[in-house]
Amino acid sequence: VITVIRAKRPTSSVPGGETFTGSVWKEGILPRADGVSMGSVHFAPGARTHWHTHEGGQILIVVAGEGLVGDADGVVRIAAGDVAWTPGGVRHWHGATQERHMLHTAISLAGVTWHEALADEGYLAAVASGDV
């Protein structure tokens, strides 16, 4: 059976909640089924996720703006049109840059485990070190 996801959905944007820092809004696209979930996440400038891991990995498709994705190996700048793959079990975070918002589509495989917030100090260091 094929599932078609219409662009016009009766979905409300909801605040990112306690696993994010800054102003974040989310919209569900595909509720978790068969271990896969999909949603849009909008980060205001400076906003980012807490550290977290996805059991099966995650694909991020950047739709608008510019952001950062970081793990223990460093930080990479991502912009509209870029696609980032984070393998399962890798501790990471993602969010906007300081100057620009970022809207990404996130396709997440299996469960997610949330860890601590990325403190301002770590975020600012990441912004400074992110490859351009």
Task: Pick one of 20, 21, 41, 58: the residue that binds Mn ion (CB under 5 A).
Answer: 58
Instruction: CB nearer to Mn ion: give 46 or 95.
Output: 95
What is the smallest separation between the CB atom of 86 and Mn ion, expressed in angstroms? 6
21 binds Mn ion (CB under 5 A): no
37 binds Mn ion (CB under 5 A): no
What does the alpha-carbon distance between residue 63 and residue 83 come to, in Å, rounded to a whole number? 9
Instruction: CB nearer to Mn ion: give 4 or 61.
Output: 61
The interface region with Mn ion, picked from 11-19, 52-60, 74-82, 95-103 by CB under 5 A, is 52-60
The interface region with Mn ion, picked from 5-13, 16-24, 28-36, 54-62 by CB under 5 A, is 54-62
Residue 65 sits at the vertex; the CA angle it makes with 44 and 62, to the nearest 5 degrees, is 105
What is the smallest separation between the CB atom of 78 and Mn ion, expressed in angstroms? 12
- Tell me the torsion sign for CA atoms 79, 80, 84, 89: positive
Give the residue from 98, 105, 110, 121 showing the smallest Cα distance to 52: 110
Q: What is the DSSP letter of 107?
A: E
Residues 69 and 86 sit within 8 Å (Cβ to Cβ):
yes
The interface region with Mn ion, picked from 6-14, 58-66, 96-104, 113-121 by CB under 5 A, is 58-66
- Cβ neighbour number for residue 67 with a 10 Å cutoff: 29
What tokens were used for 48? 């980012």
Binding region for Mn ion (CB under 5 A): 58
